Chains A and B, each alone.
Chain A
Amino acid sequence: MTETTFQHSTASPPRQAAPSGALSNLVATYGLLFVFALVMLVFGVLRPSSFFSAININTILVSQSVTAMLALAEMVPLATKQFDLSIGYHLGMAQVLAVGLQVNQGLGWPEAAALILLLSVIVGLSNGLLVSVFRIDSFIATMGTGTLLFGVTNFYSNGEQISGLNLSVSFTNLTQIVHGIPLPAVYVAIISLVLWIVTEYLPIGRNLYVIGANVRAAELTGINVRRHIIGAFIVSGLLSGFAGIVLGSILQTGTPSVGPEYLLPAFAATLLGATSIKLGRVNVIGTLLSVLLLAFSFSGVQQLGAPFYIQYFFNGGILIVAVGLSVYATRRRQRAATTTRSQKT
């Protein structure tokens, strides 16, 4: 073995991993987009008249805006690798209170909303304190607070539906369709934009991901882990509360049983979102894409005449697939996709 030619010269190291890293990101991005396009195509062909109707699209946008807000709520603590399982119950409580405080207590909707958001901050704060100060596993802690919130909802409503017949128009108008665009979709867009800027361009967003990657390292770089985790849970709580107010305005009744069933789709969308755009990392765009993907697929399946209970199979199945995919994405990233680039050089 004599001297071999020194191809990778030290003087000009090959600029290599940047384009390939970008490439694998592109592949991942297109993965979810591709599935989305496929779903649209299949159902568009099978049910051309109804699937693409403005009514169907708007119905989906309105109903899914609540799921989207909840998915974004889940995303924030999940960036630090903390679960928030209370968001579904939180949504339910906010929705019942949004209607109830107006109907029963005679508050105007702005006062009711302010009160609910204040409560949301308190709930988020307690979740954050339980997890970061008392060091209770987030899974357990938030399941606990969630169940407590469900208790509060039922205590307040006595387990009965609150009719919103006399709700003010200004409240129900919060979720109307303006110039063909449903307002809830606008709220989602605004929230997403803010969160996108925070997670991608602000130090605080990077800190959240750093905590998620390695808590000890985060502490040693001077990140106040406790404060960030508490903050993440407060944001999660605020978004859940806001989603509840929106849901109250959409449904125009306060139904104590509504809420918990939103957790699973929101959770699935967030995890599915982590398999694209930013491989292995929860992110805003991936989350939104996943919510839409799940919603349109579900709507398509329904239009094909699937029975109501199909949604449980759908949500459960998607959750497992989403987690499976994100595990796969992580492993693929660690193995650094040895096969995708064998054609180069």
Chain B
Amino acid sequence: MATDAQPAIAIRGVTKRFLSTLALDSVDLTIGRGEIHALVGENGAGKSTLIKILAGIYPPDAGEIVLDGRSLNPHLEPVPIAFVHQDLGLVDELSIGENVALVAGFPRRGGLISWKDVWEQTKRIYAGMAIDPPDPRAPVGSLSAAGKAILGVVRALSRDARIVVLDEPTASLPGPDALHLFEVLRRLRASGTSILYVSHRLNELFGLVDRVTVLRDGRNVSSGSIDGLTTETIVRDMLGRDLQVHHVTAATGREATPLLTVENLCAGNQGPLSFTVGKHEIVGLVGLRGAGHEIVGRAIFGANSHSAGTIRLAADVIPADLPISARIGKGIALLAGNRLVESTLGGMSVRENLFPNVHAVSGALLRPIDTGAELRAVRDELERFDVRPRSAAALIDWLSGGNQQKIFVGRWLATGAKLFIMEEPTAGVDIGAKGIIHRTLRKIADDGAAVLVISSDFEEVATLCDRALVMGRGKITSELTGSTLTLEGLLTRSSMAGGQSERVH
């Protein structure tokens, strides 16, 4: 990519310290005009911190940011940069149209907000990116995780900013939607927009980005053209060593006794669905955005109601009105996909976030918490998933997105459930930790648990699962196992099955 003499944005020597953590240590980053620039690094490397400094959320301790040759301080003045933050920053209670207008502006007529134009604007912006618009009047809370990710991107791009920053936009985006996003980004690049792109899915960088900057422990490691780089060289820069690749081997040919049996389940407007997940088995449930596969796991856990059908755990029928606590008692676990809204206990410690409901495990509300044993368990979990910092007392808010995710995975593994429903188990997690989580899931399956993985990361499903069920339009349309369970297979089958544009009643 030809870059002008003057870069679109230059970050020089930016340093940021939180308590005793040096999150950024004199970091440099230069993005040329019309360039897609990848920023990669392990969980906690400092990527989001750098982006938050650009957005003016934190003031830097040192360093400068130069835009078009002019040094400026984002903490004090507005910057012409569009952001998609890791947690998207959507307001769940407001409508989709209002969320778009918060960034794009509220259209007015005679000084008053014209609601008709607010709804129209949303449709126009979606259409401009060739994406089916959802009902702009529906609350954001009614969108699926992928739908929210799309909305976050769509509204940021509506600003026509010349610099766009995306922090892990594909973390919970199904393959086809991600491909669509890449198209949009390439079009923006062609029109001269500069893009900073953060992702842990390294494979998607090839063919998309022009340059790659690697951070490790808050420092620059390397920065240069992607030509000549491979996933391996990038990973080596990220970790400072080679990644040990342990292949998670699917247990083949084992006759699995069903632990979970779902018969003619109808939930929302999905179904009827029938399937089983056996002991020792990891089953993937995939679909395009709007395919309805998220609702299935939630109905089993009781977070969504279901209208018909039976759910059995071994021989035990789970009644439709059984509360979540009782289901957890029976050994069902659900890792919810929307980290910030459904898992994070803001302002509470890592320890409390790992063990929020002691009584669900111990069965006693009034037996004192065994502090020593709990702290040991916390230490083991932090060790197991390589969470940084290794501190039980740190607030969850101090952890990077990927490190928070590790905590929430650990939260459920610690319950010793029999059936684990994992939505996006490795969203936002770096390549090393992803391997650890996959191996851990394989281990609990080997030890007799049943695992249902609901993931938009088809690569993850292809490598981790024994079997995958593809859903479309509320039905299971195909089942892939063994040699048919590949990334390509999942992509074609789910595209054939189709999604549906998200609508809400």
Find the B residue at minimum CB distance from A330.
Answer: B347
**Measured between alpha carbons, how far is A340 from B298 in the docked complex, in Å?**
44
**Measured between alpha carbons, how far is A169 from B316 in the docked complex, in Å?**
62
**Measured between alpha carbons, how far is A330 from B397 in the docked complex, in Å?**
11
Known: A1-B220, A6-B217, A17-B19. A217 touches B356 (CB 8 A): yes
- Let me know if A341 and B389 touch, CB within 8 A: no
Q: How many A residues touch the partner, as a band? A: 35 or more
Q: How many B residues touch the partner, as a band? A: 35 or more
Known: A214-B346, A345-B20. A222 touches B389 (CB 8 A): no
- Let me know if B390 and A4 touch, CB within 8 A: no
- Let me know if B357 and A16 touch, CB within 8 A: no
Find the B residue at minimum CB distance from A25.
Answer: B393
In this assembly, does B289 line the interface, its C-beta being within 8 Å of a C-beta of chain A?
no
In this assembly, does B71 line the interface, its C-beta being within 8 Å of a C-beta of chain A?
no
Q: Interface segment, B33-41, B322-330, B490-498?
A: B322-330
Find the B residue at minimum CB distance from A344.
Answer: B20
B352 touches which one: A4, A10, A209, A224 (CB < 8 A)? A209
Query: Which residues of chain A come closer than 8 Å to B239, judged between CB atoms?
Result: 10
In this assembly, does B17 line the interface, its C-beta being within 8 Å of a C-beta of chain A?
yes
The minimal Cβ–Cβ distance linking B347 to chain A, given in whole angstroms, is 5
In this assembly, does A307 line the interface, its C-beta being within 8 Å of a C-beta of chain B?
no
In this assembly, does B187 line the interface, its C-beta being within 8 Å of a C-beta of chain A?
no
**Measured between alpha carbons, how far is A280 from B220 in the docked complex, in Å?**
36
The minimal Cβ–Cβ distance linking A200 to chain B, given in whole angstroms, is 9
B392 touches which one: A14, A18, A204, A280 (CB < 8 A)? A18
Query: Which residues of chain B come closer than 8 Å to A333, judged between CB atoms?
Result: 347, 395, 397
Known: A13-B390, A21-B395. A204 touches B303 (CB 8 A): no
**Measured between alpha carbons, how far is A284 from B395 in the docked complex, in Å?**
20
Known: A10-B386, A17-B394, A203-B359. A4 touches B220 (CB 8 A): yes
A18 touches which one: B362, B386, B394 (CB < 8 A)? B394
Find the A residue at minimum CB distance from B352.
Answer: A206
Q: Which of B363-387 contact A (CB under 8 A)?
A: 364-369, 371, 386
**Using an 8 Å CB-CB cutoff, how does the interface string of A8-24 with B read, 1 for contact, 0 for none?**
10100111111111101
- Let me know if B393 and A22 touch, CB within 8 A: yes
The minimal Cβ–Cβ distance linking B431 to chain A, given in whole angstroms, is 14
The minimal Cβ–Cβ distance linking B5 to chain A, given in whole angstroms, is 20
The minimal Cβ–Cβ distance linking A325 to chain B, given in whole angstroms, is 16
- Let me know if A334 and B345 touch, CB within 8 A: no
- Let me know if B21 and A16 touch, CB within 8 A: yes
In this assembly, does A207 line the interface, its C-beta being within 8 Å of a C-beta of chain B?
yes
**Measured between alpha carbons, how far is A19 from B329 in the docked complex, in Å?**
36
**Using an 8 Å CB-CB cutoff, how does the interface string of A186-223 with B read, 1 for contact, 0 for none?**
00000000000100011110110110011011111111
The minimal Cβ–Cβ distance linking B348 to chain A, given in whole angstroms, is 5
**Measured between alpha carbons, how far is A201 from B367 in the docked complex, in Å?**
9
Max chain A Cβ within 10 angstroms of own Cβ: one of B217, B328, B357, B367? B357
**A-B contact sample (15 more), CB < 8 A, given A4-B216, A336-B398:** A1-B221, A10-B386, A15-B391, A16-B19, A17-B389, A202-B366, A203-B367, A204-B365, A206-B358, A207-B356, A210-B345, A213-B347, A222-B360, A223-B325, A223-B359
| Minimum-distance CB pairs A-B, first 4 | A17-B394, A203-B358, A222-B325, A222-B328
